[in-house]
Structure 1
Amino acid sequence: MSQLFQLFEGVLAGRPDTNPWSVDGICRFQPDYDALAHLIAIPIAAGSASQSGRLAKAIDVWAAGELRRAGFDADEVWPRSTPPHVLPRELALYLRELPASQRSEAEARILRAKQIAPSDARVLGRAYVKQVDVLVAQWSRGPELLVSTKSMVSSFRNNLPNRFEESYGDAKNLRGRYPLVSMGFLFLLRSTVNDDAGTLDRVIDMLRKLQQEADIYDTTCLVLAEWADGEAFDEVNIRNDLVPADLQAEAFLKVLVEGVLDRTPIDMHVAVRERREHRHLGLPEVDEASQSEG
């Protein structure tokens, strides 16, 4: 998996840091679908598309990258773009302040200490600890944005009920402890789901139902990826033409980011607000970690 992460990181590192918010008078989030297709293609080209979690990891890396494009600090978004992929923001700030001669040794020690830099982000919900796929958090604020990702490439009709049952329970568990968190569910399916009569309609219906209650997801997203099998594999196409607008990544990311902004004061996440509004706010970013009581 570490080699896959290195390939994922190479895809995003080679892309320009563009502002995803539109400037045509209508506030829209413009996802980098080209990066998404390239990331999904990596495990498929390696012959590991059907292995549990490989495609979902590609989605995790992409979603985290889109949140950084939105303006969230690189060290408050997990998975991070470089190892360790899960690291408290405050510890990352400390490492940056170290002299270069000490930083390399400290980073190496941290990478070996799984209790400090685990491979997965886990947070306590109302009833149990849950692995979270994509997360925006700071020590003083706790989780502010959570995304759960799932993927499925075959046996859709048999596996769908389990996927939605898991997703519904996870949302209740996390929302029970973090009522103000901006939370979403992203579902990646191979486009062959459309060949099974009625199954795609069932997926769309269930994804919409997962955002109808106030104490579950703020938003849900469906990504349909199309590719050829075996030696015929060439590239991945994202089939937005088969997905309703309200379940596409454009709407999904907009709701997630704006959910965080709506639930925090204007002097928090200033860079995100400035990117969204295409203007300088002239406000210093509040950093509770650096403040002391007078």
Structure 2
Amino acid sequence: MLSARPGTLARMAKTDSFSVYDAPLAARPPTDPWVHALGEAAMYSPDYELLSRLLGIPVAAGKGSTTGALASGVDAWLSAEFRRAGFSADEVWPRPSIPRIMPRDIAMLLDGLPANLADAVRERLTSIKSVGPVDARYLGRAYEKQVDVSISRWDRGPEMLLSTKTQVSSFGKNLANRFEEAYGDAGNLRTRYPLAAVGFFFVQRSTILELEPDAFEKTIDMMRKLRDTVGLNGYTATGLALVSWDEAAPEAGVMVELDRVPADVRPEQFMTRMIEQVLSATPVSQHVRPRELMERRIIPVVEDEPGSDT
């Protein structure tokens, strides 16, 4: 039986930046995210209560000013939303458990192994970075890009590539750099993966409304201009959310504030557009469950699997 070298398991990290979110995510019962009826235009309803709960974890720990800590919460939430929409846990990265990045085919292999052997292989995977890396990195047209949330399989390749950014202060000062980077990343990824849904999701602290309202107007304008649904020089979809908390009482939690966010850049339209692109770029025998949820009907098609006779 495969076993780790003495001391290897003791040295391997059992937690990562997403571990603090594992319990809240596991405790959240999955719900149907679509609120439209059969024949109506698709209408997605994000779980904002879960986003508030997840972002409240780093804020309560005094890490609200650390955008990296908030970003992990945003990534965990978005990956949970795509799983909620019907995509499987092992094809949406980051996964809901360690290793966060692992091909679905390997997960299926582990499920088919005897329990003891599966546990040993799973432990070993976390130390083989080429198989279970910490970050999902994709080669674009010009350079390699770390992608924060993605849907990918060996037999399909990258289907969804999503970058997230958070901004809690110095809004106007850093805004131009944020969007310059975002625009370059969009062209880099879309020209190499023209069928993939390539998205950009931005979370800002709502203090921007009072402190730098001009920066907020520029944010909305740039979120719109970053899109290119026809060519390959912009994103398939972009989304914006504002969040707030009381610095004097961080334990009180985080609120998601969307009243001032225009409908065409809100998270609802972002999720809808990204999912539509993934489904439109694949045949009906792929992603059957997400299609059923979105189309509000049972689809009499069996999900294709690699190597199956169809």
TM-score normalised over the length of structure 1: 0.95
Partner of 2:194: 179
Let me know the Cα RMSD of the aligned residues: 1.6
Q: Secondary structure at the match of 1:198?
A: helix
1:86-235 alignment runs, 5 A limit: 86-195=101-210, 196-212=212-228, 214-215=231-232, 216-231=234-249, 233-235=251-253
Match of 1:280 in 2: 298
Aligned with 2:76: secondary structure? Answer: helix
Work out which of the residue numbers 4, 7, 10 in structure 1 matches 2:23: 10
Q: Quote how far apart the aligned CAs of 1:23 are.
A: 3.8
Percent identity of paired positions between Structure 1 and Structure 2? 44
Q: CA deviation at 1:231?
A: 3.5
- Post-superposition shift, 1:232? 5.3
Residue number in structure 2 paired with 1:82: 97
Map of 1:250 onto structure 2: 268
C-alpha distance in 2 between matches for 1:185 and 1:208: 11
CA deviation after TM superposition for structure 1 residue 212, in Å: 3.9
- Equivalent position SS for 1:171: helix
In the other structure, the counterpart of 2:68 is: 53
**Which amino acid is 1:81 matched to?**
P
Which segment drifts farther, 276-285 or 244-253? Answer: 276-285
| Counterpart-to-counterpart distance in 1, 2:158 and 2:257 | 32
CA–CA separation in structure 2 for the residues paired with 1:274 and 1:242: 33
Q: 1:26 and 1:235 mapped to 2: Cα distance?
A: 34
**Which residue in 2 is equivalent to 1:27?**
42
Contact 1:4 1:43 in 2 (8 A): no
4+ residue segments displaced more than 4 Å: none
For the 8 Å contact 2:56–2:251, the answer to whether it is kept is no
Q: Tell me if structure 1 keeps the 8 A contact 2:67–2:168.
A: no
More displaced 10-residue stretch of structure 1: 145-154 or 24-33: 24-33
Residues 249-285 of structure 1 deviation map (CA, whole Å, 9 limit, x = unaligned): 1110000001111111111100111111222212111
Structure 1 residues 109 and 222, CA, compared in 2 at 3 Å: closer, same or farther? Answer: same
Counterpart of 1:241 in 2: which secondary structure? coil
For the 8 Å contact 1:4–1:42, the answer to whether it is kept is: no
What's the secondary structure of 1:194's corresponding residue? helix
C-alpha change, 1:232 and 1:188, in structure 2 (3 Å) is closer
CA contact (8 A) 1:227 1:235 kept: yes
1:222 Cα offset (Å): 0.6
TM-score, normalisation: structure 2: 0.90
Unaligned runs of 5+ in 1: none
Q: Distance in 1 between matches of 2:163 and 2:267?
A: 14
Moved more, 118-127 or 206-215: 206-215
Partners of 1:229 and 1:93 in 2: CA distance: 45
Paired residue secondary structure (2:189): helix
Aligned counterpart in structure 2 of residue 64 of structure 1, from 74, 79, 82: 79
Distance change (3 Å), C-alpha of 1:232 and 1:114: closer
Larger relative helix fraction: 1
Residue 218 of structure 1 and its aligned partner are, at CA, apart by 1.1
In structure 2, relative to structure 1, the CA distance for the partners of 1:208 and 1:71 (3 Å cut) is: same
The total of aligned residue pairs comes to 292
Q: Which amino acid aligns with 2:23?
A: G
2:228 & 2:196 partners in 1: Cα distance? 16
In structure 2, the gaps of 5 or more residues are 1-12
Determine the C-alpha separation between the residues in 2 that align with 1:218 and 1:141: 19
